[in-house]
Amino acid sequence: MNVKKQSIFLILLAALLVGFIGAYTAVKVTEPNTNTEQKQDQVGKTKDNTEESAELSTEVPEDMTKVTQAYNLIQEHYVEDVDEKELLEGAIQGMLETLDDPYSTYMDVESMENFNEQIESSFEGIGAEVSMVNGQVTIIAPIKDSPAEHASLKPNDQILSIDDEDLKGLDLNEAVEKIRGEKGSEVTLEIKRPGVSDPFNVVVTRDKIPLETVYSDLQTIDGKKTGILELTSFSETTADDFAKELEKLEAKNIEGLVIDVRGNPGGLLDAVEEIMEHFITKDQPYVQIEDKSGDKQPYFSSLSEEKEYPINVLIDEGSASASEILAVAMKETDHEIIGETSFGKGTVQQAVPLGDGSTIKLTFFKWLSPKGTWIHEDGVEPTIEKKQPDYYYTNPVQLDKTLEFDDTNEDIKNVQIMLIGLGYETDRKDGFFDKDTEKSVQSFQEDHDLKVTGKIDEKTAGSIEAEIIDKIRNGEDDQQLEEALDVLYK
């Protein structure tokens, strides 16, 4: 069960996640056909399109002379050596930037590989979810049946070095890049394990790691069997996995369903289309696609009857793109949407290869809700607004020095909110370290076998953070999900 994975990322990896949203919702959500009947030909058709544009594109427009002049000037006269390939890639990136559209991007060969891993829902590596905790790359959890699990890596293991290379000064992305590698290759991790005095080495053989995008759960609410399906992104396997899990739940005679797309940054339009086929009847479009000329093309399912059981959808500000297509279609067909206003991405990109392994993702279309609303930049508003407890929204604490009574800053504010979340009440949560905060810190330290100083040092802060992460992971305080279950049969 991993229903709360997204939340942990939200709280811990704010920076990383933002990068991820940027990249991933930008993803070729799909190549929507203007002809809905030719669905089977879609991939083939796209290829044709691409070649068409590639052919068109070699005509040199007259104004390009100015760009050529600039290119030659830089090459000949810039004080440092110039990488010609980078220069040309810069030109393409520069053109895309003028569009003022974060979803139209250039991807070099390397970016395309990462992109394909996301789309294909698999990557080659050791199969561990890692995060930056107190400045240390830390294993949150090994993925089930992965090399990391087989090598007995444990949650909270800190990775000190990779193949004898110290990780100090690297950010999480850089560290992850070093851990990843081709299937079959070996990597040596130096591990510091809590409770074990000396660091030790673990050798892991990398393998292909499937990325699950659908997580299913079954709960009994008011005596009724209730399914919960969480979608973490819309990749090539998502629609099939969703169908299988839904079938399993229905075989168990569920009487209600919650679809959770919180923190889901989107993905392939195909995937969300197939999923909507289960729920949105042919009486209205499930989405409309608008092209450059303003023509709107409605897309319909072949579904005659709605599900008999109630269904609602969980969203938050991390739900983007394909997640919003689903959420707004469900909303406009009178389902409850619970949570927070979603991200607001109302465009569809197409990936156009440039022939040398690089690709331009370009915004070709807008998508509109069944009723024709463009949610871009506005997001989808929930029908029932519900936030998580405050501590879900705290940031990791980066201590420069031990914090104590009479200090005041943002870190203290975060710690106060975390302490309250863990049941250690403090009368302030504005970042001023008062006597009451000191008492709460002392209580926490007593309960966790820490030296009772009433001061927030690195160890205490790390311990408070670890508790918060555990609490979010366990999902014991997921008030949005509780609300969604609560209103399902009302």
Strand 384-385 versus strand 359-368 pairing type: unpaired
DSSP state of 456: B
Which 351-390 residues touch its own copies, going by CB under 8 A? Answer: 352, 354-356, 358, 360, 362-366
Which residue in the set 2, 15, 42, 92 belongs to the binding site for its own copies (CB under 8 A)? 92
Active site residue 93: no
In the complex, the smallest distance separating the C-beta of residue 292 from its own copies, rounded to whole angstroms, is 5
- Among 321, 342, 416, 463, the one annotated catalytic: 321
DSSP secondary structure of 102-145 = TT-EEE-HHHHHHHHHHHHTEEEE--EEEEEETTEEEEEEEPTT
The reply to whether 64 sits near its own copies by the rule CB under 8 A is yes
In the complex, the smallest distance separating the C-beta of residue 374 from its own copies, rounded to whole angstroms, is 11
* Token representation of residue 411: 């870190």
In the complex, the smallest distance separating the C-beta of residue 282 from its own copies, rounded to whole angstroms, is 27
Which residue in the set 1, 14, 18, 73 belongs to the binding site for its own copies (CB under 8 A)? 73
Stretch 410-439: interaction string toward its own copies, x if CB under 8 A: --------------------xxx-------
The reply to whether 72 sits near its own copies by the rule CB under 8 A is yes
Return the H-helix or E-strand segment holding 314.
strand 311-315
In the complex, the smallest distance separating the C-beta of residue 212 from its own copies, rounded to whole angstroms, is 33
Distant-in-sequence, close-in-space partners of 380: CB < 8 Å, separation ≥ 6: 315, 319, 324, 327, 328, 331, 337, 341, 342
The reply to whether 95 sits near its own copies by the rule CB under 8 A is yes
The reply to whether 69 sits near its own copies by the rule CB under 8 A is yes
The reply to whether 218 sits near its own copies by the rule CB under 8 A is no
Q: Which stretch binds its own copies (CB under 8 A): 27-35, 51-59, 266-274, 301-309?
A: 51-59
Stretch 5-44: interaction string toward its own copies, x if CB under 8 A: ----------------------------------------
The reply to whether 61 sits near its own copies by the rule CB under 8 A is yes
Which residue in the set 33, 312, 342, 350 belongs to the binding site for its own copies (CB under 8 A)? 350
Active site residue 40: no
**Could you tell me if 481 and 475 are in contact, meaning their C-beta atoms sit under 8 angstroms apart?**
yes
The reply to whether 110 sits near its own copies by the rule CB under 8 A is no
d(CA 463, CA 259): 33
C-beta of 134 vs 297, nearer to its own copies: 297
- Among 4, 5, 331, 345, the one annotated catalytic: 345
Angle between helices 14-24 and 109-120 (to 10 degrees): 90
- Among 121, 158, 349, 369, the one annotated catalytic: 349
Return the H-helix or E-strand segment holding 462.
helix 458-474
**Could you tell me if 315 and 380 are in contact, meaning their C-beta atoms sit under 8 angstroms apart?**
yes
Q: How many residues bind its own copies (CB under 8 A)?
A: 68
Which residue in the set 9, 20, 24, 106 belongs to the binding site for its own copies (CB under 8 A)? 106
The reply to whether 80 sits near its own copies by the rule CB under 8 A is yes
C-beta of 58 vs 253, nearer to its own copies: 58
In the complex, the smallest distance separating the C-beta of residue 349 from its own copies, rounded to whole angstroms, is 10
Q: What amino acid is encoded at 101 in this protein?
A: D
**Could you tell me if 219 and 191 are in contact, meaning their C-beta atoms sit under 8 angstroms apart?**
no
Q: What amino acid is encoded at 146 in this protein?
A: S
* Cα dihedral 231→236→241→246 (10° resolution): 60
The reply to whether 91 sits near its own copies by the rule CB under 8 A is yes
Active site residue 136: no
d(CA 396, CA 376): 30
The reply to whether 109 sits near its own copies by the rule CB under 8 A is no
Give phi and psi for 18, each to the nearest 5: -60, -45
β-bridge mates for residue 384, sequence order? 338
Alpha carbon distance, N-terminus to C-terminus of the chain? 27
d(CA 484, CA 258): 7
Nearest to 153 by CA among 119, 120, 187, 105: 187
Spacing of C-alpha 128 from chain mean position:
16
> C-alpha distances in angstroms, 31 versus 44, 140, 299, 350?
11, 36, 13, 6
C-beta of 321 vs 463, nearer to its own copies: 321
In the complex, the smallest distance separating the C-beta of residue 26 from its own copies, rounded to whole angstroms, is 14
Which 284-343 residues touch its own copies, going by CB under 8 A? Answer: 290-292
The set of catalytic residues is 321, 345, 349
- In the complex, the residues that contact its own copies under the rule CB under 8 A are 53-54, 56-61, 63-74, 76-80, 82-99, 101, 104, 106, 290-292, 347, 350, 352, 354-356, 358, 360, 362-366, 406-408, 430-432
